[in-house]
Structure 1
Amino acid sequence: GHIEGTVMIAGRTTRTLGECGSMQEFLSQLSGKAIGTPPKGSIHDVIVNDLLKENKRMDITVRNYPWADFLPDALLNGEIAAAAGTPALATTARRYGNARLAVPPDQLWPFNPSYGIVVMREMLNKRDLLTRFLTAHEAACEWIRHDPATCARIVAETTGMVDAAFVLDTYRISPKYCAALPPEYIASTMKFARTLHALGYISRPVSEDECFEKSLIGSVHQRSHHYAAGIADS
């Protein structure tokens, strides 16, 4: 339903990736410091660990917090120099804290899956039920793409925690919604699985067939994916 849902935020004195011109230059600012993430094994933790390994930055540590809600305060208090989390974290940091978006989601791990729809294997024989559910899921993704303002109001009213403008800002930080399972999504997920194994978070490698049942969504979403199409202006 969504890709590229991990962003990095930092204080306003830290130069953004765009201002630095390269990931190495950006990370050099964080030498001897820490990047905060949600708990070990979370997608944000894995992405940051992989980023540091890929750029050979052993001089930067990863500090895990039990809840993403702790990250803005940790950044404000100087416990960490940057933080990785969901687009909502970036919206919170910009609105309520002295922080800004430092690395956009497509620059951290292109096409990484934000979430998936997981079912017990015995449910796979309930194809009619699952197909109807996935049809509704695809319709919801399309609604976000074509009418994000209405969807933002519904989310705000349902949660009762944030206003519609907050939700809409969050949509726009990572506006890549669709229900399809294109090859890019699968390849990115399998890279993620290999990284999980390399970090010792899972005990063995897993195969594509173990992770994905593609025929169900393939029967619902037969066109090309819409992740790259973004969302409508509001």
Structure 2
Amino acid sequence: MTDCEAPFYRAVGDEVDVFRAAARRGLPVLLKGPTGCGKTRFVEAMAHELGRDLITVAGHEDMTSADLVGRFLLKGGETVWVDGPLTRAVREGAICYLDEVVEARQDTTVVIHPLADHRRELSIDRLGATLTAAQGFQLVISYNPGYQSVLKNIKESTRQRFVAIELDFPPVEIETEIVAHEAGIAVETARALVKLGNAIRSLDGSPLREVASTRLLILAGGLVAEGLTLRTAVQAAIVRALSDDREIVRALGELADAVLPPT
């Protein structure tokens, strides 16, 4: 791993200690939490602390096992084998982070099972080979249990191979610190954004599929740092980003006007 500044991550509970212990044992980790709560940043920070390379794969419904393991490709008139990201991590002893893994087909995720138990092996059927994971390899997967449907959930045979860490939106003071640091804005402005974020998250009977994440608050803060007014930034990065429905957008705008400090 190249020598660079550590990714900023503010611990909320015991997640850092649990991850360190799992890493020492080479145990796979399952991160659960809502979209934009800091799961990816957490993995980046832990990879940096442990001195491990990090290979990230975004899960999607068209993902196949070949996308993870590798495939034969035609190069210069010859057919050559090209490792997929999971295979590279296994060979190099890196952390492989499968983000939103349940978006992939379940028959695809089965390929990780031998890596997520005592065998620590990856079978590459097309090569007729089985790789033993190099020292330092660790498998990390994430998903949002409040977003995926019943038809897109982690199978029990997969879930019970992992140490689980549950992340959520941070408490007000910690989230304020995060937003101020990441967006480069004053603490008072960050606190106003966090207050709005919590107001949206607390709406009764909310029609929103996703609430205002820490990520969205940072995006709004970034626009403020570029000279936009707080309300303009909130409209662009939060209100309009959360819904296309005009009535919902109007209601969110009214909520923002009620929660944000007067201009």
The TM tier, using the shorter chain, reads 0.3 to 0.5
Structure index of larger Rg? 2
The structure richer in helix per residue is 1
The structure richer in strand per residue is 2
Give the structure-2-normalised TM-score: 0.31
